[in-house]
A and B are shown apart, each in its own frame.
Chain A
Amino acid sequence: MHTGMESPRGVWWKPAHKAEKMWVLIAFAWCMVLFAMMPLWHLKGAQNPSGIRYRVDPSAYARRTNEFIRQYKVGEDGGFAVVEPPPGADVYLLGRMWAWEPVLKLHKGVAYTLHLSSLDVNHGFNLSPVNLNFQVVPGYDYGLRIVPTEAGDFRIVCNEFCGIQHHVMVGRIIVVDDSAGAAPTGGAQ
């Protein structure tokens, strides 16, 4: 038999032996499982990155966010507005160098449409410690239908390099549990 550094002699288009064939078939079957899982999860799963997506002018998005803040503002936290939108509302979160605005107060088990966009460069939306990640691209509005499934005090960490102060770009989402009564407090410095 020859090695991979020698020219094969004669016709090399020969039927494969059983062992090779078997592995190719098993691998192919597994690849089809990998393929099927994604459409399946769109049908059955509760976590998909689909969203509503459209182009938006960054300044228009900033105006929309300010309007949203004005409408539903309930307080202040570390210099940021705290906003508590009603169930089902369109929620606007703006990323800019180097902050997330506003601070959001949401309710457990309630659906919202969370819009993400940027005023300047790419940012990364990382919900901590849940570990949900989305890319935030200037000029595009990513409207994700979310349902917070747990109450708590969460952080939004920017995880796309966005300039020298990238590491201070942290925002906040508070989720309160209506059934439990009291809202969690603290966490902010």
Chain B
Amino acid sequence: MTAVPAPAPASLGALFRICSTTGLKINAQAEGLIKANAVAATVSLLIGGITAVLVLLTRWQVVHLLPADWFYRILTVHGMSMLIFFILFFEMAVLYFASAVLLNSRVATPRLAWASFWLMVAGAVLVEWMMWTGRADVLFTSYVPLRAHPLYYLGVILFAVGALIVTGIFFGTLVVAKRERTYQGSVPLVTYGAATAAIIAVITLGHGAAIYIPTFLWSLGLMNVDPQVYRMVWWGLGHASQQINVAAMVSIWYLLGALTIGAVVLNEKISRTAFVLYVLFISMAAAHHLLVDPGLSPAWKVWNTSYAMYLAVLASMVHGFTVPAGMEAGQRLRGYTKGLFEWLRKAPWGDPGFSALVFSVIIFGFLGGITGVTFGTEQINIIAHNTLRIPGHFHATVVGGTALAFMGITYYVIPLIFRKKVAFWGLAKIQPYLFAGGMTIFSIFMTFAGTFGVPRRHWDATFAQAPFSVQYNPAVDLMVGLMAIGGLLAAVGGGIYILCTVWSVFFGESIASLSSAEIRALPAGVPAGMLRPPAPVADAKDHGTLSRGTLVLVAVFLIAFIAYYFVNWKLLSVVWKVG
């Protein structure tokens, strides 16, 4: 390494109040809100994780743990606690971080911010209560006319209203920061990305209101809701909200790249335009869930699933290049110039923020992205809809991608916001490996099992009590077994994450008292990127050389994509004729 490492700051107390390299000023209001939302997210993750294991051990027919009623109940809890509560509470924290912290600003309306936090908590508690007491056995999609208790829908509404207010506060904070000149020029890319996530959240929550309020009234017997219209508007919420997750996740990729190895932004125009594409095309994505539905025309399906999607896909493919290319360029400019991959080989693999970032990009792109685009093709959906291929796909996107990125950033949030060392540092270092490895195995074999037609959301795929016997390809048993092993491995990874974070926050060692000598020695429990921030670098003329390795990686990605996509057309072409 030829670049000089940045000098370590005199004391970490000072670093974390005003970070010397980035000038981050941690504002007390934002700090409290971030902490509260992070705690709520972790509690949700714990509930979601325990239920994940229960569901997994039931689907694994060798164990077949739960009885049927509890399987569907616990599956409802898993979906809601993970996809809605964990993810959204975490995203609220991200919004406060990307506005108040990154822009050195105060929070626009702290009182309202706290009120909306408690509103979200109240909504989540109400929903959990209804689910656990068996009054909402409808799975997280609650397709009408399956009926839950009215308080279930009310809980979802309260939670969504709270989240909507937080997005408003986020925009308010951007205005405050601009007016009070807390930063110069444009907002940083990370904040920009978070802003697109917030805009998408507003659109999404609009759909949410449009469906949950009528459904709430329907559950009270006050109006009718058409099942097909429900599916369409519900997925306007359900899929669009996945785009919030993607935008938030990509913002965190840029953030983690910057924090861990000083990744640079190669071209602001390209990265920002890609974020705008997410906003423009996202409401159409509901179509992915309706491709084999009776209520919609082929033209509507093709237009919505494709036009929308492929420009949004383009955006993801662009980020999939610019994120690693920015990392590579940052490393090369700091002297890791040998060959194609020295920049990657000599990266800080022991920093859980870094390893989580890399695995998140790979799992999201290679597993989640490729399967998602393929299954979202109008006709190919015929051989994917409602099979295990679908949860196989989205555990790669929202779990291996989004949740893992969230985990990675947590290792920086603990010292930065909570001012604590990360407890059990040795475990924390291997946590992303376990979680990513487990999720990879889990989602690959889940997807393969789905290829044979094994249904999702199903208590007994041996059909012991059915009027006609069903025999799957014998390979299915093996695949489900491997899926279970992968899932358990990931669950251990998730458990370690919870252990490390909870322990650090409540019983962790404070870092304020670390002396500069101790800091120079890189103590365990604080990611190196935080202690020895990457030195700033000047631009280089030739970006082709700067991103050589990444070009090879994206070429491999494109080949895998093309292969999987056309293999699926081939699989489709041999099934019964239907039209």
Closest to A49 in B: B292
A31–B305 CA distance with the chains assembled, in angstroms:
12
Q: Which of B359-395 contact A (CB under 8 A)?
A: 373, 377-379, 381-387
Distance between B20 CB and nearest chain A CB, rounded to angstroms? 13
Residue of A nearest to B184 (CB): A7
A182 within 8 A of B: no
With an 8 A cutoff between CB atoms, is A105 at the interface? no
Q: Does A4 contact B (CB under 8 A)?
A: yes
Chain A residues with CB below 8 A from B259, complex form: 5
Of the candidates A42, A80, A126, A162, the one whose C-beta lies within 8 Å of that of B467 is A80
Who on chain A is nearest to B307 by CB? A35
CA distance A184 to B145 in the complex (A): 39
- The CA of A38 and the CA of B575, in the complex, are separated in Å by 17
How close is B273's CB to chain A, nearest CB, in angstroms?
Answer: 9
- Verify if B25 is at the interface (C-beta below 8 Å from A): no
Return chain B residues, CB-CB under 8 Å to A45: 379, 572-573
Which residues of A sit under 8 angstroms from B536, Cβ to Cβ?
A: 1-2
Find the A residue at minimum CB distance from B373: A34
Q: Does A66 touch B at the CB level, under 8 Å?
A: no
Give the contact-size bracket for chain B: 35 or more
Contacts known (A24-B270, A187-B469); A34 close to B313, Cβ less than 8 A = yes
Tell me how far the C-beta of A17 lies from the nearest C-beta in chain B, rounded to whole angstroms: 3
Number of interface residues of A (CB under 8 A): 96
Query: Taking the nearest CB of chain B, how far is it from the CB of A88, in angstroms?
Result: 14
Do A142 and B294 touch across chains, with their CB atoms under 8 A apart? Answer: yes
In A119-136, the 8 Å CB interface with B consists of 120-122, 124, 126-136
A130 B453 Cβ-Cβ under 8 A: yes
Q: Does A159 sit at the interface, judged by CB under 8 A?
A: yes
Contact A47 B469, beta carbon cutoff 8 Å: no
| A126–B139 alpha-carbon span in the complex (Å) | 19
A111 → chain B, closest Cβ, in Å? Answer: 8
The interface of chain A, by Cβ under 8 A from chain B, is 1-10, 12-14, 16-20, 23-24, 26-28, 30-32, 34-35, 37-39, 41-42, 45-51, 53, 78-80, 99, 111, 116-117, 120-122, 124, 126-142, 144-150, 155, 157-172, 187-189
- The 4 A-B pairs at the shortest CB distance, nearest first, are namely A4-B254, A3-B258, A142-B294, A17-B543
Q: What would 8 A/B residue contacts be, using CB atoms closer than 8 Å?
A: A4-B251, A12-B268, A23-B317, A42-B298, A147-B576, A159-B386, A159-B457, A167-B461
Chain B residues engaging chain A, CB cutoff 8 angstroms:
22, 68-69, 72, 102, 137, 139, 143, 145-146, 183-190, 193, 226-228, 231, 251, 254-255, 257-259, 262-272, 290-298, 301-302, 305-307, 310-311, 313-314, 317-318, 321-322, 325-326, 329-330, 333, 373, 377-379, 381-387, 451-453, 455-461, 463, 465-473, 536-539, 542-544, 546-547, 551, 554, 558, 561-562, 565, 569, 572-573, 575-579
